[in-house]
Amino acid sequence: MRRFILLLALLAVLAPGSVWAVTVEKVVSPKGIEAWLVQDHTNPIIAMEVAFKGGASADPAGKAGLAEMTAGLLDEGAGPLDSQAFQQKLEDLVITLNFDAGRDSFRGHLKTLTRNRDTAFDLFRLALTQPRFDKEPVERVRGQITANLLQEAQDPNATASREWFRAAFAGHPYANSPRGTLDSVKTLQVADMRGFIKGQLAQDRLTIGVVGDLTPEQLGALLDATFGALPARSGLAAVPEVEVRTGAALTLIERANPQTVALFGMKGIKRDDPDWYAAYVMNYVLGGGGFSSRLTEEVREKRGLAYSVYSYLSPLQHSGVIIGGVATENTRFGESLGLIREEFRRMRDDGLSDKELADAKTYLNGSFPLQLDSTTSVAALLVQLQLDRLGIDFIDRRKALIDAVTPADIKRAAARLLRPDQMFIVAVGKPTGIEPTAK
């Protein structure tokens, strides 16, 4: 019996001066598996993005990097196909199929030509449900992750980020890098990975976005065939809510570079907070808006102190962060830091002008459709809309949410969030004239 529940919502995305529409359909398969779909028959291509809630924040103690290593091995042999046979099939059919893990979710990515659709989805099913974890790929991927960890240790941005999260979320799973450490990666065993799959890859954590050359009926059948064998429920403990540490601090990691690279951050705001849109618009003006941002104007455009300076809101599932970055030659690093603090202060005390507010709204509304420029990017958007529980009509409502932000909202959000004297900073380099609180 074929049973489809199809909910169609017409989503109008407003660009300046024009009105247009993308149709998002909610498809529920005969077995009850849900996906959001945008049909696009322009090219013979299908993209699917998948997320399982959880990800690296569910890594057991001492096993940091488990989600990521598991992700690296799901496409390295499954069912009857060993690693090279699996990869050969993907390459010969020009199928992109891989997985990765973030702090809050485990993600799968699939892209195929329409003519290889059924094979592609079947390989995805095999990878999720029958990964082999043969010895050769396990040790190879372990070596690759280790080499990546070593390589990233050379990168000042990555070094700063690791230390920032370690200290800002001490005692919480967010303190761990999703990639783990040289020591933790050594300990990861196949049994751990099988345990991870059992605990996390279940239907109750699953979110699916599909875009491209297929119909809802075709997708419904593929959903059952691909995900129907996954257990209905997962067995993971909930991750606790957490706040970023408070109190000013500057950790210095000395490195013989000509330039000091720094990350600065503080407690932020979660995606479902009523002040989200006010904070988002405020940050666009402060440090999110590229050449339109105050940080870029003061640090780069007026003084030439940095190539890149920015801030953004990072809404984690169980916390919120405002984080930013800058890189300035060692002798003038303190000057950049002072300017950044001053801009945080100015925004907190004075808010923004009517013109800044209006310009920010125009940009944030007008630029939204620019990201819809490939099947994969639209599929990723469909997943994120679901993870954030924004509703199938969100694209339609988004403009009103942004437009509703008032100067008073901005002031309230800025006063609540911006703490220029409570920044937690990690600097990598050899800055002069800076007094670190920790080394």
Please give the single-letter amino acid code of residue 154: Q
Contact 93, 112 (CB under 8 A): yes
Least Å distance, CB 76 to other proteins, is: 9
Least Å distance, CB 187 to other proteins, is: 15
Do you know the residue count of the chain? 439
Closer by beta carbon to other proteins, 230 or else 428: 428
Q: What is the DSSP letter of 242?
A: -
**Token representation of residue 193:** 């990975």
Least Å distance, CB 171 to other proteins, is: 19
291-309: b (≥16 Cβ within 10 Å) or e: eebbbbbbbbeeeebbeeb
Least Å distance, CB 188 to other proteins, is: 15
Closer by beta carbon to other proteins, 152 or else 243: 152
Phi and psi at 406, nearest 5°, equal -105, 165
The residues near 45 (Cβ < 8 Å, ≥ 6 apart) are 111, 112, 113, 114, 212, 213, 375
3-state helix, strand, coil in the chain (%, to 5): 45, 25, 30
* Antiparallel, parallel or unpaired: β 424-429 and 105-113: unpaired
Least Å distance, CB 17 to other proteins, is: 5
Closer by beta carbon to other proteins, 143 or else 240: 143
Closer by beta carbon to other proteins, 347 or else 381: 381
Closer by beta carbon to other proteins, 103 or else 117: 103
Least Å distance, CB 155 to other proteins, is: 7
Least Å distance, CB 368 to other proteins, is: 8
Closer by beta carbon to other proteins, 29 or else 83: 83
Closer by beta carbon to other proteins, 140 or else 341: 140
**In degrees, to the nearest 5, what angle opens at C-alpha 235 toward C-alphas 233 and 238?**
110
Q: Where are the beta strands (DSSP E) in 65-187?
A: 96-101, 105-113
Distance in Å from the first CA to the final CA of the chain: 66
